[in-house]
Homo-oligomer: A and B are copies of this chain.
Amino acid sequence: MEESNKRNEISQLGKYQLINKLREQFTNHHASTAVSFDDDASVVDFGNKRAVFSSKLFLEHIHFDLTYFPLRHLGYKCTSIVISDILGMNALQTHLTVNLAVSNRFSVEALEELMLGIRTCCEHYEVDLVKLDVTSSAVGLAISMSGMGEVSEQDTVLRKGTKENELICVSGDFAAAYTGLLLLQREKQIFEATQNSQPDFEGYEYLLQRQLKPEPRVDVIADLKKNGIVPTTLAVVSEGLAASLLQICDLSSTGCTIFEDKLPIDTLTFDTLKSLKIVATMAALNGGEDYELLFTIRQDDYEKIKKIDDISVIGYMTEKNAGHHLISNDNCQIPLQAQGFASTKNE
């Protein structure tokens, strides 16, 4: 039924290219539609207030592997990711809906474990669950979540809005979650080969925690506010720093230059990646699942940003035609590239 004469493979397009193609003939009908599509979340104008609105779909075998992902952590992580999307608009999430689809492999107790993780995250970040639905699934577990928050017009920060010479900043460090995933996948392979290995993650707790229990950087948003900094653009890095940065540049019509030696990578991440023969810089740019904030600020705010812990200035915006570059440690200029659409799986 889904066949037609002409067939273009989804894998031939980048993710954003695909989404742009699919949305291109949609038109808006409501003046209240303040922000749509290009950002972490959507914004609906309610007169004096604005609703921020986002949704996510998580599928077993694609977005998570239950052989090493405890359900409680999974519930926490999915919720955390939705909160991060709302945070990417400079807004705090207030409400959450959850739709689950489960096969009969799952018991009621299993679902309660999942909900416990969701609840723990909701309580920690003061989010109200307002809808829960459960249906059956043919294979595995599917989790769909939508989040709502509130923001004033002047506080809304988009992925569009930076200019030449503004500074590019990030919170935290990168590639840790990706490295944690590699460790978990390696132990799974060993377990499948030997059937009796006991995984030993001692010393790697930080990497596992970044993979299994990421936290939305609500603290960074609060620090920026406290120090009187309003970012000119803001995005949550979920699919790699390079992808998020290139999208900001694309929407803002700028080029960018970032420096390899400024990319924040934790020592444990760096050393573990080295032992796995992976270049840490590449993992930091494309690894994904960091859920750190990427934002731009005016040069004038440089003295202020230095006062905030856990923020790195990694480069600056350039004019559009200058292109998008990484200056490597040996002073080479390397073109920045984002990865394509996450490989569609074979059926």
User: Taking beta carbons and an 8 Å cutoff, which residues of A are in contact with B?
Assistant: 1-4, 6-13, 15, 18-19, 21-23, 25-30, 32-33, 35-37, 41-42, 44, 46-49, 51, 53-57, 59-63, 66-71, 94-95, 97, 99-113, 115, 119, 122-123, 126-140, 142, 144-146, 148, 150, 341-347
| Cβ A55 vs Cβ B146 within 8 A | yes
Q: Are B57 and A99 in contact (CB under 8 A)?
A: yes
- Is A128 a contact of B15 with CB atoms below 8 Å? no
In the complex, 11 of the A-B residue pairs with CB atoms within 8 angstroms, ordered by the A residue number, are A2-B110, A4-B110, A9-B104, A10-B134, A22-B134, A23-B129, A53-B146, A57-B142, A59-B137, A134-B341, A137-B344
Task: Give, as a whole number of angstroms, the nearest-CB distance from A203 to chain B.
Answer: 23
- Chain B residues within an 8 Å CB radius of A10: 102, 104, 106-108, 111, 134
Complex alpha-carbon distance, A119 and B37, angstroms: 15
Number of copies: 2
CB neighbours (8 Å) of A44 from chain B are 51, 94-95, 130, 148
Chain B: minimal CB distance from A269 (Å): 25
Which of B28, B99, B106, B115 meets A2, CB within 8 Å?
B106
* Distance in angstroms between the alpha carbons of A44 and B145 in the assembled complex: 16
A19 and B132 contact, Cβ closer than 8 Å, known pairs A1-B67, A62-B138, A148-B51: yes
The 9 closest A-B pairs by CB, nearest first: A2-B110, A42-B130, A36-B130, A146-B146, A104-B344, A144-B144, A57-B99, A61-B138, A8-B108
Please give the distance in Å from A271's CB to the nearest CB on chain B.
29
CB distance B142 to A59 under 8 Å?
yes
Q: What's the minimum C-beta distance from A48 to chain B, rounded to whole angstroms?
A: 6
Whether the Cβ atoms of A132 and B22 lie closer than 8 Å is: yes
Are B110 and A3 touching (Cβ within 8 A)?
yes
How far apart sit A272 and B147, CA to CA, in the bound complex (Å)?
Answer: 43
Using A27-B123, A55-B133 as known contacts, list a sample of 15 further A-B pairs with CB atoms less than 8 Å apart, ordered by residue number in A: A2-B105, A3-B107, A8-B107, A18-B108, A22-B111, A22-B115, A23-B129, A26-B119, A29-B128, A36-B131, A51-B148, A53-B146, A61-B138, A62-B101, A138-B140
Q: Which residues of B contact A27 (CB under 8 A)?
A: 123
Instruction: Give the residue of B13, B18, B48, B146 whose beta carbon is less than 8 angstroms from that of A97.
Output: B146
Nearest residue (CB) in B for A50 is B46
Q: From known contacts A49-B46, A57-B99, infer whether A26 and B142 are also in contact, taking CB-CB under 8 Å.
A: no
Check B30 against A119 for contact (C-beta < 8 Å). no
A61 to chain B, nearest CB (A): 4
The residue from B55, B62, B115, B122 contacting A137, defined by CB atoms under 8 A apart: B62
Of B41, B110, B344, which one neighbours A102 at CB under 8 angstroms? B344
Separation of A289 and B15 alpha carbons in the complex (Å): 33
B4 in contact with A55 (CB, 8 Å): no
